[in-house]
Amino acid sequence: MPTPETISAAQAAPAARAAAPAFRQFPTALRFALRNQARNRLAAVLLAVFVPVWYLLMMALTSHTLVTFRLFATRQLLTVDGAHLTLISAGLNALTIITGFAVFHAVHTTLGFDRRLVFAGYRQATLITAKTLATGVLAIAVALYTGLVLLAFWRPDPAAWLAITGGYAVMSLTYGALGLLLGTAVRGDLEGFFLIIMGGLIDTFLQNPLGNPLANKPLLEWFPSFGPMQFAVGGSFGRTFLLSHLALGLAWAAGFTVAGLVIFRFRTRSRTHPARPPAAS
């Protein structure tokens, strides 16, 4: 049986569609999306506390011994400080958890509300654009913060820091997009959190030559963190800015985003049909 909320939404739908063009709906939809991201206090605590603590823990567990490995993207043999290499990997790992969790929680908990907005006259394209933009804003902000915190533990030169932060930004966008996909696809919170946490841990661990001596195997090219890691390490240690690998990371982010938005469109579609006119007698 229809609830009073559903009935009022249905009554308001024709007026909403007629009186609210897309350019008027978008600011409200974007404000909702950004507010939902900002209200996640646990993600804010993770960002403020977990990132520096994670860096500190990795520094305590890793010595400043020299590590020699071959960068897969260029076949260049690099000898680097193992602690600094671990810091890059730790930052990427922190981003997978924080950004993925924040976006997943915001999308998953508001899916029912988004469905009601569509039923009341909001265009799906408007909501999709707002969610995509809000995810991008959050991902870039978290990546920049993670890059700034890195300076408390290691002071790379400006070009190296920009390369690391660029890799962080793409990694954050990728797992923000994955959070968007899982937020629309899975039914429960536990499944989403598990996939984000375990996926991020496995993904970033395998890319670190210090933790995985076989981090130059072709199989690792098919992992989301491959491009950002190669770009960050190549730019910071090898002075080679691998823009094609940065684009590879962006391709993962775009793929996750498109898949998530397709599912979002399906799950928020209106299932009502306009009434047919009576047949002529």
Straight-line distance from the first to the last Cα atom of the chain, in angstroms, rounded to the nearest whole number: 32
Residue 240's pLDDT is: 83
Residue 211's pLDDT is: 61
d(CA 207, CA 215): 5
Angle subtended at Cα 150 by Cα 134 and Cα 196, rounded to the nearest 5 degrees? 45
Q: Count CA within 13 A, CB hemisphere, residue 59.
A: 13
Q: What is the dihedral of CA 247, 253, 259, 263, to 10 degrees?
A: -150
d(CA 63, CA 6): 61
Residue 24's pLDDT is: 76
Q: Report CA torsion sign: 228, 193, 127, 35.
A: negative
The 3-state secondary structure of 57-84, one letter per residue: HHHHHCCCCEEEEEECCCCEEEEEEHHH
Q: Which two tokens stand for residue 224?
A: 């989301």
Q: Contact at 8 Å (CB) between 136 and 173? A: yes
Mean pLDDT, 10 residues at a time, the chain of 281 residues: 41 44 75 80 82 91 81 80 89 92 88 83 84 90 95 92 94 94 88 89 79 64 88 86 89 93 83 50 44
Residue 217's pLDDT is: 67
Give the domain ranges of the chain.
27-267
